Amino acid sequence: MEPRLEEAVKGERTVLFMDAVHFFYSTLLGYVWSKTRCFLSSQAGRKRYSVLGAVNAVSKKMTCCSTDAAINARIVCKLLKMIHLEYYGKTITIVLDNARYQHCELVKRYTKILHVELLFLPAYSPNLNLIERFWKYLKKQVLYSRFHKTYDIFKQSIEECMANAFINDKENIDRLLNLEFQSFKKVKILPV
C-alpha cells in the first residue's frame, strides 16, 4: 500500500479507500453527564440505510452509492463505474477489505474491464482503511444520542453530513483522513 500512496501523493496514481457502512434506524447511545437520569426516545424495527463509499486518499473527495437494502456485488460494480468515469484516464487503485461481495467473480471481471486495481487489506485490519475513520466521524456527528423522528429524516441527516462534512468541517476531516497508519516495521521487542 505504501508505494501506491507515495505515487498518489506525487500525482502518478489515484488511490481510493472503499468500504460499506450500514446505519440502523435506531438511537445509538452516547455519553452525557447529568444530575438526573435522562431517557432518549428510540425507534422499533430493523430498517437500515447502507452506504458504499470510496474516499480519495489525497484530495479527500468522496464517491458513494446508497441503498435501503444490503450492499451486494452489483452495487460495488456501480460504484466502480462511477469511480472509473470520475477518474477516467488515470491509474486507479482501490484499497478495500475482504467482504465477500467485493471478492466475487463479477467484481473481479468488472475491475479488469475498467482497468482498476483492487488492493485487499489483511483480514481484521480496519485501522488500515482510511474511510473507516470517516464512518466513525459520521456516526458521532449524526447518530450518537440523537433521535430521528422518521426514517426519511434519518437518511437525510446522513446524506447531509456526507455532503457537507468535507466543506464545513474541512480542517477536522483533513486531520482525520491523514495518511499516517500505525506500522509495526521497527518494533522494539522487550525481553521477557
pLDDT by 10-residue block (mean), the chain, 192 residues: 90 95 75 68 75 94 92 96 96 94 93 95 88 91 81 90 87 86 69 76
Closest to 137 (Cα-Cα) out of 175, 173, 164: 173
* Class of domain 2-24+46-176 as given by CATH: alpha beta
Provide the grid cell at 82.
462511477
In the chain, where the domains are located: 2-24+46-176
Q: What's at 85, amino acid-wise?
A: L
Closest to 41 (Cα-Cα) out of 147, 163, 160: 147
* DSSP 8-state code for residue 190: P
Q: What is the pLDDT, as a whole number, of residue 78?
A: 97
Q: What is the pLDDT, as a whole number, of residue 28?
A: 63
Tens digit of each residue's pLDDT (9 = 90 or more) over 122-162: 888 888 899 999 999 998 888 877 777 888 888 999 999 88
Q: Are 23 and 143 in contact (CB under 8 A)?
A: yes
Find the length of the chain.
192
Q: What is the pLDDT, as a whole number, of residue 170?
A: 85
Provide the grid cell at 14.
489515484
Q: What is the dihedral of CA 66, 69, 73, 76, to 10 degrees?
A: 10
- In this prediction the pTM is 0.83
d(CA 22, CA 27): 14
